[in-house]
Amino acid sequence: MLKFKSINSIPTKFSESFLFFSFSDEKEVIKTFSEVEELLEINVPGRIKKSISKNNESQNLFYLDDGSLVLLQKCDKKEKLNSDTFRRSSASAIKKIISLKLKDVIVSIPKLDADSIHKNFTSLPAESRPCQEQAGSEYFLQSILEGLSLGSYKYTTYLSKNERTVPGISIFYPALKAAEINKIILLTNKITKHVFLARDLQNTPGSDLYPEALASKVKSLGKRNPKIKVRVLGFDEIRKRKMGGLEAVGKGSERKPRFIIMEYFGMDKKKSPYVIVGKGITFDSGGISIKPAADMWEMKGDMSGAATTIAVLLTAAELKLKVNLIGLVPAAENMPSGSSMRPGDIIRTASGKSIEIDNTDAEGRLILADALEYAVRYKPKVVIDLATLTGACVVALGQFASGLFTHEDELARNLVRASNLTGERTWRLPLWEDYHNLIKSDFADVKNVGGKWGGAITAACFLEKFVDKKYKWAHLDIAGPAFAEENISYTSKTMTGYGVRLLIQFLMDEIKDH
């Protein structure tokens, strides 16, 4: 991870490199050049020794005659600025800085009027718009630090040589005092550290991260914070508790399933907790209904919901959030064998409901059914599940947003508001009764797939049948944003850890509101 420190002034004699932010129109670039001259007490045009890039590119890069390098990173136009604008532009900048193998960089962040930043959220519906307090100077800095940090991530565990140079970053931000900057640096580091953990878990090959290994990893992580309690149910216990969905999915593999329970109590245990449920398919071959070979390697990340759940629990504990939080991770490997579940099988879950198996590749909803039933024992305030559940959701929303399903309007608004602030976007989709009709079975209480259309919605409707009406519930289908390609600079070419920042922001907002 990047190491940040705050500085009170720009040194006039220096050997470091510099990163400055500008805006996209030419007048603003010229203005920023004059600000660079003023800050560095030099005449920039007169001292440029070598220019690396032209002014019409997103990055202006030039060396001064003393050998120091200045990078001018363009952002969007002022009227389009929001927290994610800076997150993305700073991620692009850090990728360039790392490619140049720079060791020390001073990042100068311009003063921005918090009112003007907040106005750029006004295009959003009022109920899902971040408030002024959320979108002020502090979060503006946090979003830049997040972009720098997240953009620097690379999964290197299996490289025999890792020659990447990760620079030290000094932050010059005159809008805030040093103590305030250091507080935001500490908060950002704690959050991004756990986003990296989620990404590492997602990127680990299924041969090394199978259900038992994941459970052992969580136990080890839990020991680092005395506020976290971890319990793991083995295969015999899963059978004893009649978790038929988890058993059916995992029984085809030599590596049997586990049910992981994480508990964090940041306040009186009598207070109803929030429960986060994460789909933990450590590798998904599709089972008997086997997937096409192309891109099947990505299915090591079919436990992305689990990775996010684990990271959120650990983040909440490290931040000492005043909230009670439970994490439930049903973990299984979906493999074809003589003992695998078959299309046409009928299984019974811990809730007592029976399920007709029409397609063994619709397995995530089966393990979530048992976890959603298990959540009832905590008498939760809210239950949120995350799952890379359907390709249909990616068809509907692409890789830029998760699908949000809930009957609770206030819960939906709060999740969408947090998503608009963090850039981990979500979009609400319906749970109409019409879709429930598509998963009716002639032989069981419900069928595990619907018809040809609306697959993300019928999957959510399936989950709803295992939700207790006593608690508020939301389902996030994260199949799109969990697997990024080249769409967003701070998540490109890697698993993303989607949902960690979103849910931590949601929980912090919930604490403030209550």
Strand 346-348 vs strand 446-447: parallel, antiparallel, or unpaired?
A: unpaired
Angle between helices 178-203 and 500-513 (to 10 degrees): 130
Contact (Cβ atoms closer than 8 angstroms) between residue 343 and residue 289: yes
Angle between helices 211-222 and 304-319 (to 10 degrees): 10
318 conformational bin, left if phi > 0, alpha if psi -120 to 50, beta if neither: alpha
Contact (Cβ atoms closer than 8 angstroms) between residue 148 and residue 2: yes
Considering only CA atoms, give the Rg of the chain.
Answer: 24
Active site residue 101: no
Dihedral in degrees, nearest 10, Cα atoms 132, 273, 464, 372: 140
427 class by beta-carbon count within 10 Å (0-12 exposed, 13-18 middle, 19+ buried): middle
Instruction: Provide φ and ψ at 277, rounded to 5°.
Output: -115, 130
Contact (Cβ atoms closer than 8 angstroms) between residue 373 and residue 353: no
- The set of residues, in sequence order, having a beta carbon less than 8 Å from that of 378 and lying 6+ positions away, is 272, 273, 275, 326
3-state secondary structure of 162: coil
Active site residue 291: yes
Contact (Cβ atoms closer than 8 angstroms) between residue 499 and residue 478: yes
Residue 397 tokens read as 């929303």
Contact (Cβ atoms closer than 8 angstroms) between residue 343 and residue 360: yes
β partners of residue 328 = 261, 277
- Please say whether the dihedral angle defined by the alpha carbons of residues 367, 260, 242 and 385, taken in this order, is positive or negative: negative
- 217, 291, 348, 465: the catalytic one is 291
- 129, 255, 256, 365: the catalytic one is 365
Residue 357 tokens read as 């198996």
Contact (Cβ atoms closer than 8 angstroms) between residue 266 and residue 320: yes
**Alpha-carbon span 266 to 494, nearest angstrom:** 33
**Alpha-carbon span 493 to 496, nearest angstrom:** 9
**Alpha-carbon span 90 to 107, nearest angstrom:** 10
β partners of residue 261 = 231, 328
Q: Where are the beta strands (DSSP E) in 203-307?
A: 228-233, 258-265, 274-278, 280-284
Strand 48-51 vs strand 59-64: parallel, antiparallel, or unpaired?
A: antiparallel
Catalytic machinery residues: 291, 365
